[in-house]
A and B are shown apart, each in its own frame.
Chain A
Amino acid sequence: MPYLLPLLVFFPLASAIFLFVTAGRLSARTVGWVATGAIGLSALCSITLACFFLFSAVPAPIHIILWEWMHTQAFSADIAFTLDPVSLVMILVVTIVGFLIHLYAIRYMEEEPGIARFFGSMTLFVASMLVLVLASDLFCLFIGWEGVGICSYLLIGFWYENPVNTAAARKAFYMTRIGDTAMLCGLLLLATTTGSLHIETLLATLHAGQIGPDVLTAATLFLLIGALAKSAQIPFQTWLPDAMAGPTPTSALIHAATMVTAGIYLIARLHELFTAAPLVMMLTSIIGALTLMMAACTALVQTDLKRILAWSTISQLGYMFLALGTGVWQAALFHLMTHAFFKALLFLTAGALIARLHHEQDIFRMGGLYRTMPGLTVAFLAGASALAGLPLVTSGFYSKEMILSSIWSAHFPLLPGSFPLAHILWGIALTGAFLTSLYIFRCIFIVFFNTHKTESTGSTPRLMAIPLACLSFLSLFGGVIEMPDTLAPIHLFTHFLSAPLPHAEEPVWLLLAGASAPIAGVVIAWVLWGRATPVMQEIPGQATIIRVAKEGWGVDALYAFLFVQPFRFLVWLTRHDVLDYLITGIGRMVRAISSFLEHTRTRFLTLSSGRTTLLLQSGDTLLARVQNGRVRWYAAWIVAGLCAALASGVVP
C-alpha cells in the first residue's frame, strides 16, 4: 500500500513535465486527456487508499520517507509523506474534484492556443497540492505550499496578453507571499525550538511541554498569518476576487475547491498546536466571523457572476476559520469538503453559462436562462442550494449546521465566563448563513428567471455536462455522511477522522434556527428579485454604500494608499536614483567650479602675461628709443645722470 503514496504525486508531476516539454506539439484533445488521465490515475490511487483505510481492521497512518533532505545535529528534515484520515480526506477531495474539473476543462479549454501550458500548470498544481496535504514534515509541506502559489500565479495570468490579468496574478502572488513569509518565520521559530519540523515530533514536543507559551503563541500567530493569506481572509481578502481573471476551471479548482483551503488544512493539521494557544484561537474565530460577514455583504452587491462566487468563497472560508477558531476542526474539514463540491460545481456551471452567453459576466444582462439551458439551471440550483445550506436535501446544510451548532457551545478560556463571545459569533454566523442564501438566490433569480435578455448559443457539450452531474450529486448528497444528533445519529465523517465532536446537548431550536435562516434568505430573495416586477431594481452605483461595498469596502484603495504608493515612491526614488543624482550633481558642481577656476586662472595668467609683455615691450621701446645713436642725446643723458647724482648728493 505505501507505494501508492509517491505514485499519487508522481502521476500529476510526470504529466506536468510531459506537457511542458511537449508544449505545442500535441493536439488539444491529447493534451487534455493526458492531464485528465494522470489526475484520474491519482484519483484511483486515492480511492484505493481510502478503501484500504476504510476496510482494514485497524487503520493505522501510513508513513513513508522518500529521502532525507537535510540532517544536522540541531535540525533534520525529510521528504516524507504521511497518510492519516485528515490527509486522506484532502487527497480524495483534491484528486476527485480535480479529476472532474480536468474532465470539464478538456472541452472548455479546447480552443485555447496555450492549452498545454494550462494543463501543465493545472497538473503541476495538483501535484503540489498533494505534496502539501501529504507532507509529514512542515518543510516538505512548505514546498507544496509554494508550489500551489506559483501555479496559482501562472494560471491567474494565463491570458497574459491582457495587463489586467497579469496585474491580478501579481497581486495574488504578492498577497500570498506576505503570508508565506510569515509562515516561514513561524516554521523557523518552531524549528529552532524543537529541532525538527516533523509534525509528530512537533506534537510530541508540545505534549512534553517543551515549547514555551510565548514561542507557541508567536509561532501559531505566524502560521495563522500564512493561512489567512493563503485563504484570503481579512486582511488579505483582496486578492481572491481579482484572481477570477484566470480561466474558470482554474477558479473552480484552485481558487474555490482546493488551494484556498490550504490554510484551513494547515490549521486543522496542527490543531493541537493551535489549541494550546488560546489567544490565537480566539483571533482565528473573530477574523473568520468578520470575514464571513464582510464577504457575504460584498457578494450581495456584486454584479459580476464570477465575483459573486469569489466573495462567497471568501465567506465560506470565513466559516471554516470560525470553526477552527472554536476548536471544531472536524467541522471545518467537513465544510471544506462539501464546499469543494458545491463551489466547484457553481464555478463550472457559471463557466459553461458564460461561455454560452458570449463571455457575458454581468448578471443584470442575463435573465430567463432556465428556458434555454434547463440543465445548467438545475446544476446551478443544486450548487446554490448547497451553498445556501437548504435543509435536509443539501450537503452544505449538514456541514454548516455542524459549524453553527458547535460554535454555540464553544468557550474561550481567555475571556471571563460571562462574556458571550460564542453566542455573538453564532449570531454572526447565522446572519451570514441568511445572507449567503440571500445573495446566491438573488443571483439565481436574476440570472435564470426574470425576463429573457441575452441570446445564448449552442449547448453544453456532454464532456462538460458529466462533471457537472457528478458534482451536483456530490453537492446534494455528499453531506449525509455526518448528521446532527437531532436528526439521525450518523457520524461517519467524524468517526472516520476518529475525532468525534464533543456532543453537548444541542437544543432543538438551534437546529431549527440553522435550518430556517437559509429558507428565510430564499424567501426574501424571491420577494426582492424573484417576482415579475422585482422590488429591488438595482442600478449600478445606486447608493454610495453599495458602490463602496462593491469595491470590497475600499480595502484595495486603502492598501494602495498604505503600501503600494509608498512602495511606488521608493521605486521611483531608486529608479531616479536620488543619491546618484546627488553625487552626479556634486561632481558637476565641482567640475563647474574647477573649470571656472581654471578659466579664471587662465584669464589671469593671460592678462598678466599680456600686461607684462606689453610693459616689457613699452620698456623695450623706451630703451630702444634711448639708444638712438645720436651723440648729443647720449651727452644729454650723461648730463642728466650727473645732475641726478649731484642732486642726490646735495639733497640729503
Chain B
Amino acid sequence: MVALSLNASLLLACMLFCIGLAGVLIRRNLLFMLMSLDIMLNAAALLFVAAGAHWHDSGGQVMFLMILALAAAETAVGLAIILALHARGRPSLDADTGNLLRG
C-alpha cells in the first residue's frame, strides 16, 4: 500500500477539520453539530496518526486512542443533553433556541 505523504495527510486533516467546523457553524441541528464535532476530532486524530507515522513515534497512535475515547464521551454527553432537553419538555433539536440560561 502506498503510504500517504505527510503533506497529503495534513491537507486531508485540514479539510476534514474545515468541513467539521463548517458543519458546527452552519447546521442548527444538534445531532448534526455533534457529528460535525466528531469529524473535527477525527481530523485532529488523523493529524496525530500522520505525525506519528512520519516521525515513527507510537505516541501518535496513543493520542488517537485517547481522542477516540474523548469523542465517544463527548458524543455521549451531547446525546445526554439532547435527551435531558427532551425530558424537560423542550422537544427541539435547534441549537439556537437554547440560547438562554434558565432553560
Contact = CB atoms under 8 A, between A and B. Distances in A.
Interface of A: 628-632, 635-636, 639
B21 A631 contact: no
B25 A632 contact: yes
A630 B101 CA distance: 11
A629 B21 contact: no
B37 to A, nearest CB: 9
Given A629-B101, A631-B98, A632-B24, 17 more contacts: A628-B99, A629-B98, A629-B99, A629-B100, A630-B96, A631-B33, A631-B99, A632-B25, A632-B26, A632-B33, A632-B95, A635-B21, A635-B24, A635-B25, A636-B25, A639-B21, A639-B25
A630 B95 contact: yes
19 contacts: A628-B99, A629-B98, A629-B99, A629-B100, A629-B101, A630-B95, A630-B96, A630-B99, A631-B33, A631-B98, A631-B99, A632-B26, A632-B28, A632-B96, A635-B21, A635-B24, A635-B25, A636-B25, A639-B21
A629 B25 CA distance: 14
The A interface, classified by DSSP as helix, strand, loop or mixed, is: helix
A631 B37 CA distance: 13
Interface in B55-93: none
B35 to A, nearest CB: 14
Nearest to B96: A630
A628 to B, nearest CB: 6
A632 to B, nearest CB: 6
A262 B99 CA distance: 120
Contact of A631 (B26, B95, B100, B101): B95
Nearest to B28: A632
A635 B40 CA distance: 13
A45 B32 CA distance: 148
A632 B33 CA distance: 9
Nearest to A627: B99
Interface in B38-52: none
B15 to A, nearest CB: 15
B14 to A, nearest CB: 12
A639 to B, nearest CB: 6
Nearest to B22: A639
B6 to A, nearest CB: 20
Contacts of A635: 21, 24-25
A13 to B, nearest CB: 114
A639 B23 CA distance: 13
A636 B96 CA distance: 13
A631 B98 CA distance: 8
Contacts of A630: 95-96, 99
A472 B100 CA distance: 133
Contacts of B96: 630, 632
A629 B28 CA distance: 14
Contacts of A631: 33, 95, 98-99
Contacts of B24: 632, 635
A631 B26 CA distance: 11
Interface in B1-39: 21, 24-26, 28, 33
A635 B24 CA distance: 8
Contacts of A628: 99
A515 B101 CA distance: 141
Contacts of B95: 630-632
A628 B101 CA distance: 10
A650 to B, nearest CB: 14
Nearest to B18: A639
Nearest to B36: A635
Those 8 A-B pairs whose CB atoms lie nearest each other, nearest first: A629-B99, A630-B99, A630-B96, A631-B95, A635-B24, A636-B25, A632-B25, A629-B100
A318 B82 CA distance: 137
A273 to B, nearest CB: 121
A630 B33 CA distance: 13
B72 to A, nearest CB: 21
A638 to B, nearest CB: 10
A630 B24 CA distance: 12
Nearest to A635: B24
Nearest to B100: A629
Contacts of B99: 628-631
Contacts of B101: 629
A564 to B, nearest CB: 97
A445 B39 CA distance: 150
Pick from B26, B33, B96 the residue with the most CB of A within 10 Å.
Answer: B96
A631 B100 CA distance: 11
Contacts of A636: 25
A630 B96 CA distance: 5
Contacts of B33: 631-632
A635 B95 CA distance: 12
A639 B25 CA distance: 10
A630 B27 CA distance: 12
Contacts of B100: 629
A639 B21 CA distance: 9
B45 to A, nearest CB: 19
A636 B25 CA distance: 6
Contacts of B25: 632, 635-636, 639
